[in-house]
Amino acid sequence: MQVTNKLTPFFENLNFERDDNSMVINFGPQHPSAHGQLRLVLELEGELVKKAYPDIGYLHRGVEKMAENMTYNEFLPTTDRLDYMAATSNNYAYALSVERLLGVEVPRRAMVIRTMLLELNRIISHLFFIATHALDVGAMSVFLYAFREREFAMDLMEDYCGARLTHSAVRIGGVPLDLPPRWLTDLSKFCTKVSYEIEHTYEALLTENRIWKMRLEDVGVLTQEDAISWGCTGIMLRGSGIKYDIRKEEPYELYGELDFDIPISDKCDSYGRYALYMEEMRQSVRILRQLIPMHSKTEPKLMAHAPQYISAPKEEIMTQNYALMQHFVLVTQGMRPPVGEVYAPTESPKGELGFYIKSEGEPYAYRLKCRAPSFFHTGLLQEILVGTYIADVVTIIGSTNIVFGEVDR
């Protein structure tokens, strides 16, 4: 314990034990590189981390509890607040699991729009990752450039749904709106812009950068066995050389028809994962380019036809009595999905995001469990940080790309 007097005051964040040169430091929850509300208790031996203890829960809002007290449609905007970097992917994961439970079929135009939004969100999230990761490691300028393109992407989201961060752009059974005029033109301009910037700005600044390589190569090495055992998904898994992408392996939406590659890296380190983020953005652009011509070939229907569960289009509600009655019941009482349970995995930008929903046939979910990728990646920190230097801790946290909205829920 610290002996405190007027000359050696009490340091609440430090615990010196001079005999064995070990020190316990408290990292976060206000540390700027802690990606939100991560608190890490690190036991150091000199500069070497001997023990790491991630302490979470500073952003706990009880989302799963709220889900038990809200009807299915009411809960959807709450999912925005999970992974707030890419809100649509949460909306979608939730909507998908409810749709599987209901067994409704989403119209093709809604599927095109949803896939576009998902990929746009992936780019938004990856740009944010590149920006903050580079900022954490010390490359300030990348942050500015990446945020510029991210603004353009968020402008597109704003044009579509009116919100920049909390989109709620996906509804159970489809999407609420068709794309505004000229949106697809803007999107293809954005695709050109972002694919140019990936190559000429971010990669030009980082990929061959000596400092960047020294800071990232062989840092945060995650073996295949550990990646599987810790439940790592997404780029953490593919960065360890396992080719598993839910979009390819268990296709949902239009991913089965689209042509894209799943990049993997067998380097198992932070640099390999960084390269994957870059490559994934390219693939997202490729997917978006394929989707743009698909939109005009579809019927204009946007919401699934399942009158028992999903309200009819506004036109019918305004003109047909029975549609209005059903809409009234669905709004006041909420839909009642069949009894059963569902787990629908999706590939969010962070990894496997899935909602386990247990329904008892009531308008309120009996139990909803959000399988958040970042939660398991945070658990991994207690092992991957041991044996690294304190300077690499920030790199490794950045490389796991955890976001605390979904860790604490």
Partner 1 sequence: MRKYTPKDNLQKKSYYTDRFWVAPRVPKEMVEEGSHFDDVVKALSEVSEIKESAIELGQLRVVINPTDNFKVLEALKERCGYKMMSEMSAVDYLAKDGEFEVFYQMLNLDEAKRVRVVCRIQRDEAVESVVSLFKSANFAEREMFDMFGIKANNHPFLKRIIMPDDWEGHPLLKTYPLQGDETASWYEVDKIFGKEYRDIIGPENRDPSKVDRYDGQRFSRVGYEVPFGTEIDPENEEENPIAYSETFMVDYTTGTETLSRRK
Q: Shortest Cβ distance from residue 188 to partner 1 (Å)?
A: 33
Token representation of residue 225: 């066995």
Among 35, 122, 336, 350, binds partner 1 (CB under 8 A): 336
Of 131-139, 179-187, 257-265, 349-357, which part binds partner 1 (CB under 8 A)?
Answer: 349-357
Query: Is 338 among the residues that bind partner 1 (CB under 8 A)?
Result: yes
Residue type, 4: T
**Helix orientation angle between 87-102 and 108-137, rounded to the nearest 10 degrees:** 140
**Out of 200, 343, 387, 391, which residue is the one contacting partner 1 (CB under 8 A)?**
343
Cβ at position 8, least distance to partner 1 in Å: 27
CB 242 within 8 A of CB 264: yes
Candidates 106-114, 152-160, 297-305, 369-377: pick the segment binding partner 1 (CB under 8 A).
369-377
348 binds partner 1 (CB under 8 A): no
Residue type, 349: P
Among 34, 70, 116, 117, binds partner 1 (CB under 8 A): 70
> By the 8 A CB rule, do 84 and 406 touch?
no
Q: Report the distance separating Cα 140 and Cα 151, nearest Å.
A: 17
Question: Can you state the angle between helices 270-296 and 183-197, rounded to 10 degrees?
Answer: 160
Asked if 378 is part of the footprint of partner 1 (rule: CB under 8 A), the reply reads yes
Cβ 14 vs Cβ 24: under 8 Å: yes
Smaller CB separation from partner 1, 132 or 401: 401
Q: φ, ψ for residue 143 (rounded to 5)? A: -55, -45
Name the helix (H) or strand (E) containing 330: helix 321-332
H or E element in which residue 149 lies: helix 140-161
Token code pair at residue 377 = 């990646």
Q: Does 366 bind partner 1 (CB under 8 A)?
A: yes
Q: Which residues of 84-120 are buried (b: 16+ CB within 10 A; e: fewer)?
A: bbbbbbbbbbbbbbbbbbbebebbebbbbbbbbbbbb
**Smaller CB separation from partner 1, 143 or 356:** 356
Residue 361 sits in the site that holds partner 1 (CB under 8 A): yes
Among 354, 398, 402, 406, binds partner 1 (CB under 8 A): 354
Tokens of 252: 């949902």
Q: Is position 379 an interface residue for partner 1 (rule: CB under 8 A)? A: yes
Site string for partner 1, 181-210 (x = CB under 8 A): ------------------------------
Q: Which residues contact 341 (CB under 8 A, 6 or more apart)?
A: 356, 357, 358, 359
Per-residue contact string for residues 221-260; x = within reach of partner 1 by CB under 8 A? -----x-xxxx-x--------x-x----xx----------
* Binding footprint of partner 1, residue count (CB under 8 A): 56
CB of 365 to partner 1, least distance (A): 10
Residue 325 binds partner 1 (CB under 8 A): no
122 in contact with partner 1 (CB under 8 A): no
Q: What's the closest the beta carbon of residue 316 comes to partner 1, in angstroms?
A: 23
CA dist 343 and 95 (Å) reads 12
**Dihedral (CA of 399, 86, 382, 36) sign:** positive
The residues that touch partner 1, with contacts defined as CB under 8 A, are 56-57, 60, 62, 64-66, 68-70, 100-101, 103, 226, 228-231, 233, 242, 244, 249-250, 333-334, 336, 338-343, 345, 352, 354, 356, 358-364, 366-367, 369, 371, 375-376, 378-380, 382-383, 408-409
